[in-house]
């Protein structure tokens, strides 16, 4: 019998690299922008009780009615303006499925979140790549010129931007939305880190504006393990997203957990305030070291070591059981590392390890 001919993935997929973030057993893990502390005990106890109430033999509420109503109440919008999914990545994927695809394009402004390009490739959506200035900010004239020339079907603004932490001014976002409205484009403001920032594009939402705002429970709500995200949008947009998402995609327990989390908003807000204060303390400490940093309104700080190569510093930190994110090879942030804001103790551990790493001899060329 001849050797079987194995099926091949379509060319675009076969040529791709998957999304990877190292998962390493270390004392201090500050590489994936997770909350450094778990949700409050009262929330955990409520979730445990909810497990016993689940009708495991029945399909979940396909419309996630209770969860969408709770999110709508929290954001001051109608339930029909809320779309919930398995993390903000499924929110983004649903947008690509509904508004992207072959023959359509999406604009991104790099350096930015890598999953925009990844999902574009998997859905056959063309990519229009714009850039940022030396401080990682969007340049209004450049953005609007790109849109006028390319007329992308989707425009992704990540604010605060990952991995840089920079925010897009609301007047700029408004101008981008107006430009998209002129030709039928849709603007997506990804606010995965929005609760750490001073303002939200959700204030610009209107039924006659092609704007959607994506959020996640993973960061602020200390629920990265749950995989729950949502989007605020005009009702006509939500209706299209519901057509492309798989049926019963949100399980019953996940829906219940989301509702319960929203009942602990005050405790979550306290965690945000603590992390913002720690972020500012961490940034101030980094300013005294031989590294370059940029202002951040997220729960992380991007920095570039100047005393030795960034990759060497990443390894030296890992040798000291501290894991940060390596962006040294990413265009636009070459040589940079990103550190998640942890607890005060974790941040002090990181700073001590970084001081030692910066003082260590370089291994470049070894």
φ, ψ at 25 (rounded to 5°): -80, 105
The CATH class, in words, for 11-39+266-359 is alpha beta
358 half-sphere exposure, CB direction, 13 A CA radius: 18
Run of H or E including 91: helix 87-99
Contacts for 5 with CB less than 8 Å, ≥ 6 apart: none
Residue 52, CB half-sphere, CA atoms under 13 Å: how many?
A: 4
User: Residue 335's closest CA among 345, 344, 323, 327?
Assistant: 327
Q: How far apart are CA 161 and CA 152, in angstroms?
A: 20
Cα–Cα separations (whole angstroms), residue 289 to 163, 309, 344, 358: 20, 15, 18, 9
Q: What pLDDT is recorded for position 22?
A: 65
CB count within 10 Å of CB 193 equals 25
**Residue 153, CA distances (Å) to 107, 147, 180, 268 in order:** 8, 9, 8, 35
DSSP-derived secondary structure for 292-343 = EE---SSSEEEEEESSS-HHHHHHHHHHTTEEEEEETTSTTSTTEEEEE---
Q: How many CA atoms are closer than 13 Å to the CA of 195, on its beta-carbon side?
A: 22
Residue 87 phi/psi, 5-degree rounding, is 80, 160
Residues of the chain with CATH 3.90.1150.10: 11-39+266-359
Going residue by residue through the chain (366 aa), what tens digit of pLDDT does each one get?
678 887 877 776 766 666 556 667 899 999 999 999 999 999 999 999 999 999 999 999 999 999 999 999 999 999 999 999 999 999 999 999 999 999 999 999 999 999 999 999 999 999 999 999 999 999 999 999 999 999 999 999 999 999 999 999 999 999 999 999 999 999 999 999 999 999 999 999 999 999 999 999 998 888 999 999 999 999 999 999 999 999 999 999 999 999 999 999 999 899 999 999 999 999 999 999 999 999 999 999 999 999 899 999 999 999 999 999 999 999 999 999 999 999 999 999 999 999 999 987 655 544
Question: According to the model, what pLDDT value does residue 18 have?
Answer: 61
- Alpha-carbon gap, residue 333 to 20, rounded angstroms: 18
Bridge partners (DSSP) of residue 190 are 158, 214
Distances (CA, A) of 268 to 51, 181, 296, 320: 22, 35, 20, 31
Buried-state track 149-163, b at ≥16 Cβ within 10 A, e below 16: ebbbbbbbbbbbbbb
Give the burial class of 178: count Cβ atoms within 10 A of its Cβ; 0-12 exposed, 13-18 middle, 19 or more buried.
Answer: middle
CATH 3.40.50.300 fits 45-264, yes or no: no
**50 phi and psi, to 5 degrees?**
-65, -30
| β pairing state of 126-130 and 154-158 | unpaired
Q: Give the separation between CA 238 and CA 182, rounded to whole angstroms.
A: 21
What is the pLDDT at residue 180?
A: 98
| Delimiting residues of CATH 3.40.640.10 domain(s) in the chain | 45-264
| HSE-up (13 A, CA, CB side) for residue 363 | 9
Q: Identify the bridge partners of residue 214 per DSSP, sorted by sequence position.
A: 190, 231
Other C-beta atoms closer than 10 Å to the C-beta of 91 total: 25
Could you tell me the strand order of the sheet in which 28-30 lies?
Answer: 28-30, 322-327, 336-340, 300-305, 291-293
């Amino acid at each position: 019998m001849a050797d079987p001919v194995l099926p091949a993935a379509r060319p675009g997929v076969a040529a791709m690299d998957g999304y990877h973030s190292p998962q390493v057993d270390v004392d201090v893990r500050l590489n994936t922008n997770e909350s450094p502390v778990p949700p409050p005990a009262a929330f955990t106890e409520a979730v445990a009780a909810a497990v016993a109430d689940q009708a495991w033999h029945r399909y979940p509420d396909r419309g996630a009615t209770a969860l969408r109503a709770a999110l709508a109440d929290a954001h001051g919008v109608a339930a029909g303006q809320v779309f919930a999914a398995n993390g903000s990545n499924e929110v983004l994927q649903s947008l690509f499925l509904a508004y992207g695809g072959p023959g359509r394009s999406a604009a991104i402004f790099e350096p930015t979140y890598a999953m925009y390009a990844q999902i574009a490739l998997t859905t056959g959506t063309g990519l229009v790549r714009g850039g940022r200035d030396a401080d990682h900010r969007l340049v209004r004239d450049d953005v609007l010129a790109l849109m006028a020339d390319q007329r992308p079907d989707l425009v992704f603004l990540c604010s605060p931007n990952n991995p840089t932490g920079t925010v897009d001014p609301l007047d700029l976002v408004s101008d981008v939305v107006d430009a998209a409205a002129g030709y039928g484009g849709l603007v997506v403001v990804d606010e995965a880190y929005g609760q750490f920032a001073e303002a939200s594009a959700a204030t610009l939402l209107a039924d006659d504006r092609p704007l959607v705002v994506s959020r996640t429970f993973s960061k602020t709500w200390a629920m990265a393990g749950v995989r729950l995200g949502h989007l605020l949008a005009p009702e006509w947009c939500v209706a299209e997203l519901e057509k492309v998402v798989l049926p019963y995609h949100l399980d019953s327990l996940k829906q219940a957990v989301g509702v319960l989390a929203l009942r602990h908003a005050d405790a979550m807000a306290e965690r945000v305030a603590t992390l913002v204060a720690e972020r500012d303390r961490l940034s101030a400490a980094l300013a005294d070291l031989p590294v370059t940093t940029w202002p951040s309104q997220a729960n992380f700080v991007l920095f570039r070591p100047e005393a030795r190569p960034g990759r060497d510093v990443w390894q030296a930190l890992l040798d000291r059981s501290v894991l940060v994110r390596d962006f040294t090879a990413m265009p636009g942030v070459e040589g940079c590392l990103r550190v998640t804001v942890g607890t005060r103790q974790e941040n002090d551990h990181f700073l001590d390890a970084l001081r030692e790493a910066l003082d260590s001899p370089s291994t470049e060329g070894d």
